[in-house]
Structure 1
Amino acid sequence: MRLPSSRLALLCMLYFVQGLPFGFQATALPVYLREQGVSLTVIGFASVLWLPWGLKALWAPAVDRYGSARMGRRRSWILPMQAGLAATCAAASLVTAPELLPVLLGLIFLMNLFAATQDIAVDGFAVDTLRPDELGPGNTAQVVGYKLGQLTGGGLLLWAAERTGLGWSALFVAMAVLCLAAFAVMLFVREAPVREELAATRTTLKQVLARLKEALLLPGTGWLLLFIATYKLGESMSDVLYKPFLVDAGITSGQIGLWSGTWGTLASLLGSVAGGVLAVRMPMLGAVGLTAALRVVPLLGRWLLATSGVTDPGVIGVTLAEEFFGGALTTAMFAFMMSRTDRRIGATHFTLFASLEVWGKAPAGPLAAWLADPKHGLGLGYANVFMLGLILSVAFLVLLLPMRQRSPGPSTQPTG
């Protein structure tokens, strides 16, 4: 069954808004901090701004349980979060001086808080409405929307700010306007009623938590959680140093914004579509294994750049390849995660998986920066840490064997 284009567009728009602050944090912020002379260690620890994405499972049961019946159970959470995101973007446009950097970082933290809470509600909406045969295209729409938000917040707007001379303030104003546009669209969206078999199971918060415990006690869940937590660890160690490495190699912020934030994200979008196609045409675990194996190739390319020297064609080729295969892996993995979600507690269960995915990557930033930093860390340098990330990504492939044997199925998978 083909997923209606209107539902695809809605999912894409919602995830686009959620990708804006993370795109800025992942691409634009490290460039800005490095240009201000901030150390690699500080840049690495600035990654704690993603903390709401890692902690959102704590309040996911409340989002899953409570909501306005009149406005729509998911929509009543989405609209306030979009308004808060627009407000914090607008406030950040007024904080331009380097001496107010702590204020700017605090606002970025709030952006992530609003986006992460909206993500819980949107994930619940997706789990509510997507049938098993729609998980491939549905997750493609989600990942593509999120990547488009990343492209805009960390690529297009960064590149435009440098080319026009309008600076960082205009970047945040543009993000606020985009959030308000999505808010205006959501005002006219009417949420479809929850299917009867799902509505009947959603009662008290205590029962939501009890069903989550039941899902976590299924045989093979330990391997599933380890699988989700480690699939991006090595790649993330490489990612957090890649842009500072390019800055130190003499690549300008405009080039980084264009090659990594823009062209790279476009490659990631194409990879996301490819991952969605694979998730439909192959067993989902097989799609994850194939894309995880291909992801190793550009990680080797980063190590070669650090050891053999940087050239413009080399940087562009490695960047586009990593983004393409990384995007394919993300879509395949998220479709696999959603296929293992108990739909009775869709927002809570899937949020737990997504939060674990974030926590699995969490040590990567501080650890990689500390290992590489010659002033405040071990001083191993970029090349050695790129190699460590490559080794961890290869080691992840070993987990495919126990997953094939012990991966649990979803507790409940109704098909309305």
Structure 2
Amino acid sequence: MMNNNLKSSKRRDTLILLLLGFASGLPLALTSGTFQAWMTVAGLDLTTIGFFSLVGQAYVFKFLWSPLMDRYHLPFLGRRRGWLLLTQVALVILIFAIGCLNPQSDLWLMAGLAVLIAFFSASQDIVFDAYKTDILSADQRGNGAAVSVLGYRIAMLVSGGLALWIAHYYLGWRSTYWLMSALMIIGIIATLNAREPTTEIPTPRTIEQAILEPLKDFFGRNNAWLILLLIVLYKMGDAFAGSLSTTFLIRGVGFNAGEVGLVNKTLGLLATIVGVLIGGMLMQRLTLFRALMIFGILQAVSNFGYWILAVTDKNIITMGSAIFFENLCGGMGTAAFVALLMTLCNRSFSATQFALLSALSAVGRVYVGPVAGWFVELYDWPLFYLFTIVAAVPGLLLLAICRQTLEYTQQTDSFLPRNLFPAQYNLAIKFLIAGCYMLAIRLLLLFWDLIFAKLHPLSSMESNLMAYLKEFLMGGGMLLCIIGVVLGCLLDYISIRRKQTL
């Protein structure tokens, strides 16, 4: 009887995670690709459409307000479900409201609503990531990660390609957005029927504690610096391969945009979904370390398909095979990687730590583009895709180095404390903090240029001084951050070697 109840509870949790994953992924395209398509059909100029791509910045900076969701409880449904319900109700209202407007006459009101949709969508992501981290035990995280990613991907397909098709052939843009608003009610139903994670976990008592304690907790662990570097590097080969894939298929191989759109987007998304499902099933039989290693190797090898495309004649079957295999392996790697992020989060601060770690994991995806373009210009496509395989190797080596720490955490659901080199580790943290402060000041100066420079023009001498200051802050901040990270990783490595020799 108890076994049946446990299985029933697990099935219910799986369904809830699938539906909440769907609700989490649905708003994304409604402020990006689908929204751009609506403005394009409405006849807006490219500069305006390009400007609207900035509304998605909330997804990048969501870690800034994530401590609020760890610290404060709303007076209904508990610590996690209360915030989920608030963000979902807001999204239902906002998506319906933006569907009532016209891009040609209500452009700036639409911009404001799009920013709010992105903000509440990013906030929903914060709470959902924390919820699944809190609700899943160590042995359930692989399957839970796969199910939530599956729901997310299905929602992206619905609010992306399917929404465009419905808007064009059947309902028009307004009614399509109203339909998407109605589909968000799925998330509300899932939240109301979900179970709240256990209340035995201690929560931050002050907002200061909610901001500082997650950082102290993470950097007080064994191998913390190497694990941070692992998060950045694990999907680096994937990031390089995907950064110029569309350009490669059109300009490098010679396919037209229609062929690329049909195969790369539709077949690629299908392969990712299949990969996520396979990854989730395999992770029930593998340890987290083994899943990450096997899927990471497959991710690297799958880029070989693009090299074959680059050195053979144009063939749509070859393209489809390469895209399917690469996305299949990428989906498997994503399932394991999300499980890794959940494993690394302390449940007391899961909203803040998951938001920070997921933001860090996006570094490769966001910043490899310029390097990839430079590499292709110098060495052409075949060598570039061989390089993407090599780019995956550092992440796999780091994974092997961190094996003991990851296996201990998965087995005990706790973290090995750091007990060597306290003064040197503090110095590494100070370098990192100083570098972050310099980069933050540089960011503030950028906002000054965008908002106030036209109102208060600078003299020629002041402009030159400001330019030197910006270069100093950017270069100095990057250098200090790199020194801090390198010193921290070096101390981690020395600690591992010392423990192995004891």
The bucket for the TM-score relative to the shorter chain is 0.7 to 0.9
Which of 203, 206, 227 is equivalent to 1:204? 206
Kindly report which structure 2 residues correspond to 1:4-403, keeping only aligned pairs within 5 A, or say none: 4-22=10-28, 50-90=56-96, 110-158=116-164, 164=169, 172-183=177-188, 185-186=189-190, 188-189=192-193, 191-192=195-196, 194-198=197-201, 200-212=202-214, 213-246=216-249, 249-253=254-258, 255-365=259-369, 367-368=371-372, 385-403=384-402
**Aligned-residue CA RMSD in angstroms?**
4.0
For each residue in 1:340-374, what CA deviation from the matched residue of structure 2 results, as whole angstroms up to 9, or x when unmatched? 221222222222222211234221345545766xx
**Mapped partners of 1:299, 1:20: distance in 2:** 29
Q: Once structures 1 and 2 are overlaid, which stretch shifts more, 52-61 or 397-406?
A: 397-406
SS of 2:295's partner is helix
**Mapped partners of 1:27, 1:387: distance in 2:** 31
Go from structure 1 to structure 2 and tell me whether the alpha carbon gap of 1:88 and 1:78 turns closer, same or farther (over 3 Å shift).
same
**Mapped partners of 2:396, 2:173: distance in 1:** 41
SS of 1:197's partner is coil
SS of 1:292's partner is helix
8 Å CA contact retained: 2:288, 2:407: no
Q: Give the unaligned 5+ runs of structure 2.
A: 1-5, 415-502
8 Å CA contact retained: 1:27, 1:155: no
Q: Which has the higher contact order (CA 8 A, sep 6+)?
A: 1
**Count of residue correspondences:** 401
Aligned-pair distance for 1:386?
4.2
Q: Once structures 1 and 2 are overlaid, which stretch shifts more, 146-155 or 94-103?
A: 94-103
Q: One-letter code of the match for 1:56?
A: K
Go from structure 1 to structure 2 and tell me whether the alpha carbon gap of 1:31 and 1:208 turns closer, same or farther (over 3 Å shift).
same
**Mapped partners of 1:104, 1:257: distance in 2:** 28
8 Å CA contact retained: 2:31, 2:118: no
Q: Which structure has the bigger radius of gyration?
A: 2
Aligned-pair distance for 1:27?
7.1
TM-score, normalization by structure 1:
0.79
Aligned-pair distance for 1:230?
1.7
Q: One-letter code of the match for 2:226?
A: W
Go from structure 1 to structure 2 and tell me whether the alpha carbon gap of 1:84 and 1:243 turns closer, same or farther (over 3 Å shift).
farther
Aligned-pair distance for 1:111?
3.9
Aligned-pair distance for 1:103?
8.7
TM-score, normalization by structure 2:
0.67
Aligned-pair distance for 1:234?
2.9
For each residue in 1:269-319, what CA deviation from the matched residue of structure 2 results, as whole angstroms up to 9, or x when unmatched? 221122222322112011111111111233221233244343221222122
Q: One-letter code of the match for 1:117?
A: S
Aligned-pair distance for 1:207?
3.3
For each residue in 1:371-396, what CA deviation from the matched residue of structure 2 results, as whole angstroms up to 9, or x when unmatched? 66xxxxx5876656544433312443
SS of 1:203's partner is coil
State, as a whole percentage, how many aligned pairs show the same letter.
28
**Mapped partners of 1:180, 1:340: distance in 2:** 31
For each residue in 1:163-218, what CA deviation from the matched residue of structure 2 results, as whole angstroms up to 9, or x when unmatched? x37676665454333224433x25743653x42421x4443333334431122221
Q: One-letter code of the match for 1:288?
A: L
